[in-house]
Amino acid sequence: MKKGASTKYYDYIIAGSGIAGLYTALMARTHGTVLVITKGSIEDCNTRHAQGGIAAAIGRDDSPELHFKDTIAAGDGLCDEEAVRIMVNEAPERIAELVNIGVPFDTLDGEITLTREAAHSVSRILHAGGDATGEYIEVTLSNQIRISGIQVLEDSLATEILVEKGKVQGIKALDCHTGSIEEFSCRFLILSTGGAGQLYKFNTNSDVATGDGLSLAYNAGAEIIDMEFYQFHPTALSLPGVTPFLISEAVRGEGGILLNAEGRPFMVDYHEKGDLAPRDIVARSILYEMEKTGTNKVYIDVTHLPAFTVTTRFPHIYRFCLEHGLNITQELIPVAPAAHYMIGGVRTNSWGETNIAGLFACGETACTAIHGANRLASNSLLEAVVFSKRIVMKTTDNKASQEKVSVHNASEKHSLPERQSRLSSTSPSLSALQVLLWEEVGILRNKEGLTQAADTLATWQNLISLPADRPSYELHNLVLAGRLVTEAALMRKESRGAHFRSDYPKRSPHWKHHIVFRRD
């Protein structure tokens, strides 16, 4: 793409305005011109929904080595160990930077307070505003962006990455108000558009989580990895007529107890760590208990905890529940699993680089293989800041985008298979897609359901008309993301981490590798 008189040029263009995108913008602003493109406002993102916190080994009884071991254990054999070591070792410095930027982490007697969550061996979770960590970080960063003079293009949806001879040239974006398309050129393009939680009928994500970065990257020729590993949070508030609302894992970390519909604690039946078992095990255990009792929910009990502990430690959760008629200091909290976090994503190396020169990815959009097959709680916000910082470091060393992207574990590379279109009983729509993915590509999977979903999604992809506005672009992106998740889940004939198949319920040593998709 040649820069014309009407083409605007920037050193850095960042698509997305969550913690990864905004942090990258703030780090990059002293190294060149920066443009942030976001389809809503810079406050619209998944980061605001992150209650649990951010993990870092800054406590007296903690160490990067302990954090490393916990992360590797949760990843079920598929973590990139080098990338994990980078993350845990650089974590304290990134926390210090967030403090300097102004993030008000919770403190006691002048020290940052640390809490514990499932599968962490010690207390290492930092919080802000109790259970509003993501919101506090997002607001702090967005305020810094607004006063920094960084240009932000709101209500603009990135629609196409422009590539020539294997190198990024720029990006096209849709003005969501006028419907016009504008082109921007750049040296470096960073994708930080978040996840794809809107694939599922029940999810804890913002409405903006529609797999936009995945679609952009895949269509440009970037590699997509580990899409079968979609993490379902075990405990989302389950009240009639109320959108699923995250009940943080930290609630169980503080002593909350899971009870079935009969009022019996059940997690000890499934795992030695009981209520603090890994997320995938807790989510499946809840499904089994719901099936046993013929109900659509279980409960978290915090009524035995001092009321002031609940209200001060989880003020956001307490207020939200109270607004919907539930006093959690006196009543049980009804919960059920919901889609929560996209573990896979755009394949990057430890500097955030993709296989396309000049194209980087960070945050939930990216897959550094830090999380392996099952993300350790509160590592996502940490991953975002650590590797966002490394992207900027890489772009300033005069060797950016020269390394070949690789991961330590072996990988299989595929293109999405051609599937014969068939008559579909439903037309492609957001609601139909969400039901299909929830029922056939959810927490429990099998060949029959996955094959049906794969065929339906391929048919829908051929039926959808060309996108012209934000909703139609988002549906296009979600159908493609759905195909990537489904085809990967169909290929992986084992159960590992967040991916569970009832027809292959065991982990297999033959599947200790990654599945990678790349467009032909």
pLDDT score of 423: 67
DSSP 295: -
Catalytic residue among 279, 375, 445, 501: 279
Mean pLDDT across the chain, nearest whole number?
Answer: 92
pLDDT score of 22: 96
What separation in angstroms does the CA of 140 have from each of 18, 43, 105? 11, 10, 11
Average of pLDDT values for 283-307?
Answer: 97
pLDDT score of 189: 98
Query: Does the pLDDT of residue 441 top 70, yes or no?
Result: yes
Architecture of the domain made up of 237-338: Alpha-Beta Complex (3.90)
Which range is most confident: 42-56, 117-131, 447-461? Answer: 447-461
**Strand ranges across the sheet with 230-237:** 245-246, 230-237, 333-342, 298-301, 257-259
Contacts of 5 (CB under 8 A, 6+ apart): none
Whether 477 contacts 184, CB under 8 Å: no
The structure tokens listed for 292 are 């046993």
Encode 465-479: b = buried (16+ Cβ within 10 Å), e = exposed.
eebeebeebbbbbbb
Average of pLDDT values for 454-461?
Answer: 95
DSSP 347: E
pLDDT score of 1: 52
Average of pLDDT values for 356-375?
Answer: 96
Average of pLDDT values for 475-488?
Answer: 98
C-alpha closest to that of 180 among 163, 160, 156: 156
* Coil, helix or strand at residue 517: strand
The whole model's pTM is what?
Answer: 0.94
Residue 64's Cβ-side half-sphere holds a number of Cα atoms within 13 Å equal to 14
Average of pLDDT values for 21-34?
Answer: 96
Query: Does the pLDDT of residue 166 top 80, yes or no?
Result: yes
Average of pLDDT values for 188-195?
Answer: 97
**Whether 279 is catalytic:** yes
Q: Provide CATH 3.90.700.10 ranges for the chain.
A: 237-338
Whether 457 contacts 486, CB under 8 Å: yes
Q: Provide CATH 1.20.58.100 ranges for the chain.
A: 415-517
Average of pLDDT values for 469-473?
Answer: 97
pLDDT-based confidence at 410, cuts 50/70/90? low
According to CATH, what is the number of the domain 8-229+343-395?
3.50.50.60
Whether 343 contacts 383, CB under 8 Å: no
Whether 379 contacts 71, CB under 8 Å: yes
Q: Provide CATH 3.50.50.60 ranges for the chain.
A: 8-229+343-395
pLDDT-based confidence at 276, cuts 50/70/90? confident
Query: Does the pLDDT of residue 5 top 90, yes or no?
Result: no
Contacts of 400 (CB under 8 A, 6+ apart): 188, 353, 358, 394
pLDDT score of 116: 85
Average of pLDDT values for 22-28?
Answer: 97
**What are φ and ψ of residue 307, in 5° steps?**
-55, -40
The structure tokens listed for 334 are 């009804």
pLDDT-based confidence at 7, cuts 50/70/90? confident
Average of pLDDT values for 158-168?
Answer: 97
Whether 65 contacts 89, CB under 8 Å: no
Which fold, 415-517? Methane Monooxygenase Hydroxylase; Chain G, domain 1 (1.20.58)
% pLDDT > 90, the chain: 83
